[in-house]
């Protein structure tokens, strides 16, 4: 763990911009979050957002704001850090009744939108090379928070920084639940064996406010979420590709190949001629097991050779041999292990919408095929 991070000189300007200084490793950075409109979030929400940003990376988190004893205990237990702040009182609130979707505009968050059509959309604009994302997600009219946290490296510590919009807007939107476009990627190996309780895998700092996580696409692969988007918004596919990465980037090539496999499966004709990728030089198998899993599926659909040519250093023989002979139909289905802890009525809504679009729960053979596939990655 790093030793100390400090958030000092915290100020919210009239234009709704939250500013402060951040001290780490003896250096200082100017940090800002520009809110969607001018309002002043309660101090305990700001504290929760700052702790969510740094996660469990520091032994001490100093925040120049007041905090109540109950929230302090909750944040210290989650962050495994000592919280140093001004002494304050815990704020009591009515339970929230709305749901938010932390929305990036990519395939996975759009699939989540299909399953949560009435959720409030909250997006983060990191600026710079991520500006292409905003050009796409703005068409859905989300609440947009602009921030320089990527520029100053505050995104390096924990995935939970992606939830700061839901935390800061908890009172404004009366939120009681939140979700992400989190799919079955890095969790695939665990989900092949045991259920994951969503109540234990959410945004820790949100628990104090009674906000629960409800991730609708947690049991879908990249392939299944892409399939859901292709079926519901085929008109957007080219634009989505351009928003998730640049044509010469490895991520773009993989997404293009996956989308080609999905469209082939669905027998849907979409003109992607204006979204063709450029072959990157650095694609290498083994860098990410989640990426390799999706590419493996693409090989089973489009053929090994069409994917193999994207990897200058080749693909290990066990994977190419597997792709020629095995089925990975489970990549098109719902893994029920990802939905433990989700209320039955909500799960019924998600399952109903998925089944309407031909995305069905795992059957016996899917468990066998998934187990055989995961054995390749051990």
Q: What is the pLDDT of residue 251?
A: 86
pLDDT band of 129, cuts 50, 70, 90: confident
Distance CA 244, CA 249 (A): 10
Going from the C-alpha of 127 to that of each of 13, 33, 34, 98, 286, the distances in angstroms are 20, 12, 12, 28, 30
Find out whether 181 and 104 touch, Cβ atoms under 8 Å: yes
Distance CA 217, CA 116 (A): 10
Q: Set out the domains of the chain in order of their start, with CATH numbers.
A: 2-87 (3.30.420.10), 222-330 (no CATH)
Whether residue 324 has pLDDT greater than 70: yes
Q: How far is CA 119 from the centre of its chain?
A: 16
| Start-end of H helices in the chain | 43-54, 69-79, 107-115, 131-137, 164-168, 170-173, 188-191, 204-207, 222-232, 237-244, 250-266, 289-302, 304-308, 317-325, 344-356, 364-375
Q: Which tens digit of pLDDT belongs to each residue from 269-287?
A: 998 888 888 776 667 898 8
Whether residue 191 has pLDDT greater than 70: yes
β-bridge pairing 27-34 and 143-147: antiparallel
Q: What is the pLDDT of residue 238?
A: 92
Four-CA torsion 48, 207, 105, 287, nearest 10 degrees = 90
Distance CA 135, CA 94 (A): 36
Q: What is the pLDDT of residue 13?
A: 87
Distance CA 295, CA 375 (A): 16
Q: What is the pLDDT of residue 282?
A: 66
Phi, psi of 213 (to 5 degrees): -85, 145
Of the candidates 367, 376, 225, 366, the one whose C-alpha atom is nearest the C-alpha of residue 289 is: 376
Q: What is the pLDDT of residue 281?
A: 61
- Give the mean model confidence (pLDDT) for residues 191-216: 92
Report the interhelical angle of 222-232 vs 250-266 (nearest 10°). Answer: 60
- Residue 86, both tokens: 């001004």
Q: What is the pLDDT of residue 46?
A: 98
Distance CA 311, CA 249 (A): 13
- Give the mean model confidence (pLDDT) for residues 312-331: 93
- Residue 175, both tokens: 């939120």
- Give the mean model confidence (pLDDT) for residues 228-257: 91
Of the candidates 352, 15, 65, 21, the one whose C-alpha atom is nearest the C-alpha of residue 6 is: 21
Find out whether 245 and 122 touch, Cβ atoms under 8 Å: no
Positive or negative: CA dihedral 363, 365, 366, 371: positive
Report the side by side order of strands in the sheet with 58-67: 82-87, 58-67, 2-12, 17-24, 27-34, 143-147, 120-125, 98-102, 175-180, 212-213
pLDDT band of 199, cuts 50, 70, 90: confident
- Cβ neighbourhood burial of 247 (10 Å; 0-12, 13-18, 19+): middle
pLDDT band of 180, cuts 50, 70, 90: very high
Average pLDDT value for the chain: 93
Whether residue 71 has pLDDT greater than 90: yes
The structure tokens 């995935």 sit at: 159
Q: Which tens digit of pLDDT belongs to each residue from 9-61?
A: 999 888 899 999 999 988 999 999 999 999 999 999 999 999 999 999 999 99
pLDDT band of 362, cuts 50, 70, 90: very high
- Cβ neighbourhood burial of 282 (10 Å; 0-12, 13-18, 19+): exposed
């Amino acid at each position: 763990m790093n030793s100390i991070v400090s958030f000092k000189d915290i100020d919210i300007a009239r234009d709704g911009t939250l500013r402060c200084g951040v001290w780490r490793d003896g250096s200082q950075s100017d940090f800002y979050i520009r809110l969607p409109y001018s309002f002043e979030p309660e101090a305990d929400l700001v504290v929760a957002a700052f702790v969510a940003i740094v996660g469990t990376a520091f032994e001490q988190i100093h925040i120049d704001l007041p905090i109540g004893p109950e929230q302090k205990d909750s944040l210290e237990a989650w962050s495994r850090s000592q919280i140093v702040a001004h002494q304050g009182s815990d704020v009591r609130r009515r339970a929230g009744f709305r749901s938010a979707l932390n929305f990036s505009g990519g395939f996975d968050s759009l699939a989540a939108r299909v399953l949560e059509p009435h959720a409030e959309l909250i997006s983060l604009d990191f600026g710079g090379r991520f500006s292409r994302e905003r050009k796409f997600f703005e068409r859905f009219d989300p609440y947009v928070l602009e921030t320089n946290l990527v520029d100053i490296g505050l995104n390096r510590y924990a995935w939970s920084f992606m939830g700061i919009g839901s935390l800061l807007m908890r009172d404004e939107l009366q939120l009681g639940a939140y979700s992400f476009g989190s799919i079955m990627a890095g969790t695939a190996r665990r989900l092949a064996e045991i259920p994951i309780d969503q109540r234990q895998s959410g945004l820790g700092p949100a628990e104090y406010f009674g906000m629960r996580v409800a991730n609708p696409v947690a049991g879908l692969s990249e392939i299944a979420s892409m399939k859901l988007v292709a079926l519901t918004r085929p008109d957007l596919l080219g634009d989505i590709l351009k928003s998730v990465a640049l044509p010469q980037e490895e991520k773009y090539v993989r997404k293009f190949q996956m989308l080609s496999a999905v469209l082939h499966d669905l027998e849907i004709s979409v003109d992607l001629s204006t979204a063709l990728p450029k072959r990157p030089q650095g694609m290498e198998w083994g860098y990410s097991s989640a990426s390799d899993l999706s590419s493996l599926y693409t090989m089973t659909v489009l053929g090994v050779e069409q994917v193999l040519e994207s990897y200058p250093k080749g693909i290990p023989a066990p994977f190419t041999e597997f792709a020629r002979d095995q089925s990975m139909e489970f990549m098109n289905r719902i893994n029920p292990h990802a939905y433990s802890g989700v209320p039955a009525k909500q799960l019924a809504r998600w399952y109903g919408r998925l089944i309407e679009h031909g995305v069905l729960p795992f059957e016996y053979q899917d468990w066998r095929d998934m187990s055989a596939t995961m054995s390749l990655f051990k």
